[in-house]
């Protein structure tokens, strides 16, 4: 099943990040795009999510220097754009994979594309990793660990459900029971022409 591969790969990425555990570490993709494009895209996608997860931790420091915070906000904005781009690349992969499938007359469209489901699965892998850290943190109280263990169990159940939903969607697309479209995000705030603040700087 696709989701089993994705979940294992996401765990691999997250563990790799935490060997050095810093947002400015160099990135090397473990998968070559020419030999395994999908794994290459998934690896890059989860790395972006993992770095951004830690950006979000850092920027919430109440003692952060305002200049550093502004720089970090710009990095988060850039990361969000990279994240969206990767989702579209992954959806393009599936569009190409299923391009010869003819949707049945009664085929329906899903509320989200496969890659946006995968985006949620990647974020969920990060939640599970960090909630497990909290549930086993030795310097935390037993009450804290117990509360986090309960949350972890919910997250693990959620991963099973989401994985099943993604696998079902991909199977339905492959059989023509569902069809997919990709709508570009068309974000306006990064565009020099569409964001009035940026436009007025020109």
Q: Is the pLDDT of residue 197 over 80?
A: no
pLDDT, position 190? 67
CB burial readout 7-28, b (16+ within 10 A) else e: bebbebbbebbeeeeebeeeee
Model's pTM, two decimal places?
Answer: 0.91
Segments making up each domain of the chain, as ranges: 2-188
DSSP 101: P
Q: What is the pLDDT of residues 74-120, one digit of tens each?
A: 999 999 999 999 999 999 999 999 999 999 999 999 999 999 999 99
| Type and span of the H or E element at 179 | strand 178-179
Q: What is the pLDDT of residues 24-65, one digit of tens each?
A: 999 999 999 999 999 999 999 999 999 999 999 999 999 999
Alpha helices by DSSP H, the chain: 2-20, 37-59, 66-97, 114-135, 142-175, 196-199
């Amino acid at each position: 099943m696709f989701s089993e591969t994705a979940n294992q790969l996401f765990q691999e990425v997250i563990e790799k990040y935490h060997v050095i555990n810093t947002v400015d570490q160099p990135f090397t993709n473990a998968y070559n795009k020419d030999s395994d494009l999908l794994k290459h895209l998934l690896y890059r996608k989860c790395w972006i999510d993992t770095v951004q997860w830690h950006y979000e931790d850092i920027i919430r420091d109440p003692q952060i220097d305002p200049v550093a915070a502004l720089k970090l906000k710009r990095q988060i904005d850039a990361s969000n754009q990279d994240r969206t781009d990767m989702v579209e690349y992954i959806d393009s992969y599936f569009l190409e994979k299923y391009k010869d499938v003819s949707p049945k007359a009664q085929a329906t469209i899903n509320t989200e594309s496969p890659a946006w489901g995968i985006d949620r699965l990647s974020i969920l892998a990060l939640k599970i990793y960090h909630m497990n850290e909290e549930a086993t943190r030795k310097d935390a109280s037993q009450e804290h660990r117990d509360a986090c263990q309960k949350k972890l169990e919910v997250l693990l159940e959620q991963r099973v459900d989401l994985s099943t939903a993604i696998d079902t969607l991909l199977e339905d697309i492959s059989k023509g029971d569902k069809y997919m479209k990709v709508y570009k995000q068309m974000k306006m705030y990064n565009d020099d022409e569409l964001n009035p603040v940026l436009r007025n700087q020109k």
